[in-house]
Amino acid sequence: MFLGGINLLSLFSGISGAELSPRQVGTPLKNVALSWLEQINHKRNLIDHADVQQLNGDRLEQLMNALGGFDPIVGGSPCNNLAGSNRHHRDGFQGKESALFYDYFCILDLVKCIMTKKSMNFL
């Protein structure tokens, strides 16, 4: 289905399992929002976003226009403040790192709004 590769928006990569999975099943990655792929000789377009909180609607729309949209959006927010072994700073979703969980869903909503706006323009 994606013989030419996929455009992947990756938020909070962690150990990067979601980014490696398509390659393992033979689906190449066309455009990826990560810099770590350089370490595995990834030869496609890499777009690095150092701070996911700066990824606003304008930037997402710009990326979607340039890339033709995103095929999957993957990620999982940091669990630093949720992990059982972190006995000193287990602040839950109010913790500095784990609060990024809410940013993940804001970005998903922004992408959905942009896609809805684009589909309405085609009607």
| pTM for the predicted model, two decimal places | 0.72
Residue 109 has pLDDT above 90, yes or no: yes
The tokens describing 123, both together, are 């009607």
Residue 110 neighbours by CB under 8 Å, 6+ apart: 56, 57, 60
Residues 71, 5: Cα–Cα separation, whole Å: 9
Residue 101 neighbours by CB under 8 Å, 6+ apart: 77, 93
What is the per-residue pLDDT for 94? 77
The pLDDT mean for the chain works out to: 77
Residue 20 has pLDDT above 60, yes or no: yes
Residues 42, 110: Cα–Cα separation, whole Å: 28
The tokens describing 55, both together, are 């990824």
Residues 8, 83: Cα–Cα separation, whole Å: 27
Residue 28 has pLDDT above 60, yes or no: yes
Residue 14: burial class (beta carbons within 10 Å; 0-12, 13-18, 19+): middle
Confidence band for 84, pLDDT divided at 50, 70 and 90? low
Strand, helix or coil for residue 4: coil
Residue 86 has pLDDT above 90, yes or no: no
Which comes out higher in pLDDT, residue 39 or 1? 1
